[in-house]
Amino acid sequence: MNKVIITCAVTGAETTKKQCPNLPVTPEELADAAYGAWQAGAAIVHLHVRKEDGGPTQDLKIFKKAIDLIRKKCDIVVEITTGGAVGMTPEERVAPVSLEPDMASLDCGTVNFGNDYIVNTLPIMRQFASEMNKYKVKPTLECFDVSHVVSSHTLIKEGLIQPPYHYGFVMNVPGALPYNHKLISDMLSQLPAQSEFTIMGIGRAHLPAIFGALSFGGHIRVGYEDNIYFSRGVVAESNALFVERAARLVKEAQLEVAKPSDVRAMFKLAR
């Protein structure tokens, strides 16, 4: 039986309370959102944290508080961001890896982000991968372009990342790859052996990406970071609602929703 992992990206760096009134922002709200997502079937929570004013931060104290609160509530696998937010330094972005989350995102190339950009040179990628090795944190190799998948091969050749690999195809970010099946196939054609992949459809690609992941044998990501609309013009009342729908679709496809313990075994997580 194929098991499908549902990741819930509960808040992200860009979404605001103004757009999405129930956006979790404080560590307590993030823990509640992670717990709700776990109850609905999410096995991984992808975590960003915010300052009191709601802006994105990589502050270690805030991250630690959120991670501790989540771990008290449930066994969901905790993946932190090292993408951070536009304008952060690499050192700032990678710092929370020292808190020993289960997993962390590792962006595999420089990318346009609307009118902004996020820099991920090979030296930055090596630095991030080394930090993750040091703290036994499993990377999700986030690829916004086919060339990013190819860049990840360099880390593999250099022994900086170990199988099984987990890729995240981030599709429909303004300025980067749109969402379509030809481009998914192109990304897949460059994956090394022993790879799992999650498709992240941003904005209106959210729902198509769930069906895409199920069709291509991948895993699913949902949540307010990627998309706030449950249906046309209707902002979702919670992250959990997105997870519930994804879990329903997994079951309709006669597949099984992966539990956190499945993810820990599948990805050989340290904790």
Q: Which residues bind Zn ion (CB under 5 A)?
A: 81
Q: Which is nearer to Zn ion, 14 or 253 (CB)?
A: 14
> Taking a C-beta distance cutoff of 8 angstroms, is the pair 145, 177 a contact?
yes
> Beta strand pairing status for 219-222 and 3-4?
unpaired
- Distance of alpha carbon 11 from alpha carbon 14, whole angstroms: 8
Residue 207 DSSP label: H
Q: Which is nearer to Zn ion, 15 or 81 (CB)?
A: 81
What is the nearest approach in angstroms of Zn ion to the Cβ of residue 9?
Answer: 6
Maximum distance among all alpha carbons in the chain?
Answer: 47
What is the nearest approach in angstroms of Zn ion to the Cβ of residue 213?
Answer: 17
What is the nearest approach in angstroms of Zn ion to the Cβ of residue 95?
Answer: 15
Q: Which is nearer to Zn ion, 85 or 250 (CB)?
A: 85
> Taking a C-beta distance cutoff of 8 angstroms, is the pair 205, 213 a contact?
no
Q: Which is nearer to Zn ion, 81 or 172 (CB)?
A: 81
Which helix (H) or strand (E) covers residue 189, if one does? helix 181-189
What is the nearest approach in angstroms of Zn ion to the Cβ of residue 79?
Answer: 9
Q: Which is nearer to Zn ion, 26 or 255 (CB)?
A: 26
Single out the residue of 91, 24, 36 nearest to residue 62, CA to CA.
24
Residue 257 DSSP label: E
What is the nearest approach in angstroms of Zn ion to the Cβ of residue 93?
Answer: 11
